[in-house]
Amino acid sequence: MANKVTKIGVMTSGGDSPGMNAAIRAVVRTGIYYGLEIFGIMRGYSGMIENDIVPMHSRSVANIIQRGGTVLKTARCKEFFEKEGRKKAYDNLKQIGVDGIVVIGGDGSFRGADIFAREYDIPCIGLPGTIDKDIAGTDFTIGFDTAVNTAVEAIDKIRDTADAHDRLFIIEVMGRDAGYIALHSGIATGAEHILIPERKTDMEELILSLQEKEKRKKLVNMVVVAEGDDFGGAYEVAKLVKERLPNAETRVAILGHIQRGGSPSCLDRLIASRMGYAAVECLMYGRHNVMVGILNNKMHYTPLEKAVKAKQRISDEWLKIVKILAS
């Protein structure tokens, strides 16, 4: 073993996502299996700075795999991006003897981990915990599958009432910088239009399409909008649609934070468990400062410095599929 690790700290950082608890459980139980000591860092980097760090045992993670959210809590911490904050965090970890960190979060969390690992002698492993699926180097992020299924279930229910009343619904899903939830849920629910941040929204094209559908008496239409769409989200889209199509019964639905919560899907539990197990082995065997992902059903390791720069991109083929199937 290179740079033998004996005490691992595990934390969740940034936005919560379903499956984080499964990842925590996997890190704790894998570490214990290999005879390591595991510590839970509460509220992400804030807990690291405030020394809110607790020992974890096998029973600490009993009965959590099915729970949404995170038992370690999570937070965003501006102080950690200052040198003084990182020094406090380092001193707290060294006092306990923690010599390896597993960070479950998104690109902002990985950016902090990358800076920290460069400054100090504590290796960090990143696990992609984000509902947005916007991190390159993995086919799945922990929480995406659950979030998109939550959105699909909600949109299916909205379609029922849209059909009953012949209405046009504009539905906003999460995705400030990434349109994967909108793309996947929109295709899966047969949405007529999907608006995402990765593609400039052509409102004239949208209006002309809806007018054409109105002429052929297609009165039930669903437009799925990512919150980060460049036109401004569902309310802005609806405002223009109501001006240009005054006869259409238009309604807005914002799905909001229901997409973050709930019991994680089987897929999210499985990938979180695999990633948590792999993270401990990375620390044990000297594969340090990487993000653990899964590509083509195999474990894949991306250096943290690349993981924070690369973004998962939506291919033109996906956009073509949307156009063909929604016609």
The strand pair at 298-303 and 290-295 is best described as antiparallel
Could you confirm whether 132 is annotated as catalytic?
A: yes
Give the Cα separation of 116 and 103 in Å (integer).
12
Give the Cα separation of 241 and 221 in Å (integer).
12
Give the Cα separation of 155 and 159 in Å (integer).
6
- Out of 99, 132, 145, 268, the active site residue is 132
For 59, the token pair is 């029973």
The arrangement of strands across the sheet holding 250-254 comes to 193-195, 221-226, 168-173, 250-254
For residue 184, which of 134, 237, 114, 113 has the smallest C-alpha distance? 134
For residue 277, which of 72, 8, 3, 2 has the smallest C-alpha distance? 8
Which residues are known catalytic residues?
132
